[in-house]
Amino acid sequence: METTRRTLLAAFIAAPLAPLSGVAAAAQGTPALPLTRACDDDNAATVEREPGPFFKPNAPLNRDLFADSPRGERITVAGFVVDDRCGPLPGSLVEVWHADENGHYDEQGFRLRGHQFADERGRWWFNTVVPALYPGRTRHFHFKVQRPGGRVLTTQLFFPGEPRNAHDRLFDHSLLMNISDTGDGRFARFDFVV
Ligand SMILES: [Fe+2]
C-alpha cells in the first residue's frame, strides 16, 4: 500500500506516546512513538522565536488549510504538546500561520492561518501546504502554543536540508521538523515542550 499523508497521520494517531506510556504500549503490542525531542532534561522547553511582522490575532478554528492554497504542495504537520516531564497537555492551543507557495502571507484575511486545541492525548495536526521562501528567510512555519492556563510560546519550525537554514539568523536545529515524503505530499512531525 502506498504511503500517504493520511496513512502516516493515522499511524501517528494510533501510536501511544513513548516516554509516557512505554510500558503500557509494550503491553498492548503497539509500537510506541518516540517524541521528536527529549522532554526530560533541564533544557527541554521548545526554543522561542519572534513572531515576525505577519501575525494576526483571531485566526479561525481550522486545521484543514490546504483549500486556502490548492496549488501548493500538500504537507501534514503533526505532533504532541507535552510538558517538561513528557506529559501530554490536552486542550493546548496550537496556532499556525505561514506563507503560501509563492512566499506571500495573507494580510487581508486568514488564508493559511488557523488554530486548534490539542486532543485528549495532547495531539494536534494541520493539513496545509509547503510555504515558499521569501526574501531574507529560510523556509518556515510560525506557531503559537499555549497550555491551558499557561503562557504563550511563540516559535518557528524549520525544514531539514534547506540551503538557507545556515544563513538564517532565526534558524535553530532544535526547531527542525522530522519530514517524510509520501505519495501525496509530505508528512512532518514536531512535538512542542511547553
Ligand atoms: Fe515568516
Extents of the domains making up the chain: 5-193
Q: What is the pLDDT of residues 115-151, one digit of tens each?
A: 999 999 999 999 999 999 999 999 999 999 999 999 9
C-alpha grid cell for residue 133?
521562501
* 140 alpha carbon – ligand 1 mean position (Å): 6
Residues whose CB is under 5 A from ligand 1 (ion)?
52
The Cα–Cα gap between 18 and 34 comes to: 5
Q: Is the pLDDT of residue 154 over 70?
A: yes
State how far Cα 67 lies from the chain centre. Answer: 18
Examine the pLDDT at 112 and tell me if it is beyond 90.
yes
CA–centroid distance, 19 to ligand 1, in Å, is 32
Q: Could you tell me the distance, in angstroms and rounded to a whole number, from the CA of residue 42 to the centre of ligand 1?
A: 29
Strands 74-82 and 185-189: parallel
**Do residues 100 and 88 lie in contact, with contact meaning Cβ atoms separated by under 8 Å?**
no
Question: 32 C-alpha to center of ligand 1: Å?
Answer: 33
Region 153-175: mean pLDDT is 97
Q: In sequence order, what DSSP letters do the residues of the chain get, joined into one string?
A: ----HHHHHHHHHHSPBHHHHHHHHHHHTPPPB--SS--SSTT-SPPP----TT--S---B-SB-GGGSTTSPEEEEEEEEE-TTS-B-TT-EEEEE---TTS---SSS-TTEEEEE--TTSEEEEEEEPPPP-TT--SEEEEEEE-TTSPEEEEEEE-TT-GGGGG-TT--GGGBPEEEEETTEEEEE--EE-
pTM: 0.90
The pLDDT of residue 184: 93
Distance (angstroms) between ligand 1 centre and the Cα of 91 equals 26
Distance 157 CA to ligand 1 centre (A): 10
In CATH terms, the fold of domain 5-193 is Protocatechuate 3,4-Dioxygenase, subunit A (2.60.130)
**Spacing, Cα 139 to ligand 1 middle (Å):** 8
Number of helices followed by number of strands (H, E) in the chain: 2, 9
Q: Predicted confidence band at 23 (pLDDT cuts at 50, 70, 90)?
A: very low
Calculate how far, in angstroms, residue 142's C-alpha sits from the geometric centre of ligand 1. 6
